[in-house]
Amino acid sequence: MLTFCSPAQNAHAPLLELVNGQAEAHAEIPARLENMLAAMGAVRAPENNGLEPILAVHDPAYVAFLQSAHDAWLAAGREGDAIGYAFPVRGRRPLGLERIDGRLGQYGFDTVTPIAAGTWQAAYGAAQSAIAAVEAQASGEARHAFALCRPPGHHAGADYFGGYCYLNNAAIAARAAASREMGPVAVLDVDYHHGNGTQDIFYEDGSIFFASIHADPKTDFPYFWGHAEERGAGDGEGTTFNQPLPRGTDWTAYEGALGKALEAIARFGATTLIVSYGADTFAEDPISQFALTTDDMQRMGAAITALGLPTVTVMEGGYNGAALCRNVVGFI
């Protein structure tokens, strides 16, 4: 499978995350990418397609913030990674905040997603990898392409970051595919955690279908999105399909949910599929609670392939370093 990955994606090296009341070593580290690359064989660096495909998804003021946030943090006399500490509970307004602390809270939604010195460069490189995978498909070079993205993207909304994510690679890929008249486009998210950012971006967009199979948000991050009754709104009514599953879900239950998602995508009439793949559904993932095996990853990939659609797979989560490469290879 034709695989894209930017060398810049290792520039993001956050040190700590604040989770469950503790400062812990960050789980989303460059070693994740190195483990996957070691097993991938030939990987192509993406061309630079610029900001235009990113701005087709993300708010310009938010993108400008990401580009300058760490420099502003250092200019305020701080050290290390930029982490917010105040977040709006009610609706956000476009306030002209000055201190970097307030702006971090304005655009972020958690304390596990610091902005480090190389975060923008890595996120930009990951987005370019996703765009390149779509371009390879559009040109006829590859029916299936893999964007080995890191940092991940599916928790990032049009104007917010969180869940280790800054730019939404899957949404950028979906919008790029639609702009190349490769639609109707569907996004299938099989990461352990719900892709809240992708859902938000397309929630009122009836032209792009979003299906997600994930841990029940009543018990798991991101909590506030991904409930079964969330089905889209306005022009997007009915084009969001969430299937929350309980902790401990194994392949017996997961296979049925995957079948329902694929049936819904087929009914929608999709002609291009974007897959947000997270290997954190693996039974031994340190921050997740499903019970899939490496063989199940291969079964999942085979079921998706059987749908018969040209597919761009975008890498999301997966934090068991020892097993990550074999799970990814099994899936693709």
Strands 22-25 and 16-19, how do they pair? antiparallel
Is 193 annotated in the active site? no
Q: How many CB atoms lie within 10 A of CB 39?
A: 12
- C-alpha to C-alpha distance for 287 and 3, rounded to whole angstroms: 27
Q: What is the 3-state secondary structure (H, E, C) of 78-122?
A: CCCCECCCCCCCCCCCCCCCCCHHHHHHHHECCCCCCECCCHHHH
Contact 280, 288 (CB under 8 A): yes
- C-alpha to C-alpha distance for 214 and 66, rounded to whole angstroms: 28
DSSP H/E element including 71: helix 60-75
Q: What single string gives the DSSP state of each residue in 210-249?
A: EEEEEE-TTTSTT-SS--TT----GGGTT-EEEEEE-TT-
- C-alpha to C-alpha distance for 211 and 185, rounded to whole angstroms: 11
- Output phi, psi for 229, to 5 deg: -75, -5
- C-alpha to C-alpha distance for 51 and 85, rounded to whole angstroms: 29
Asked whether the CA dihedral 318, 321, 322, 325 is positive or negative, the reply is positive
Q: How far apart are the first and last CA of the chain?
A: 8
Reading the block at residue 119, the tokens are 């975060």
Determine which one of 26, 58, 154, 155 is catalytic. 155
The residues annotated with a catalytic role in the active site are 155
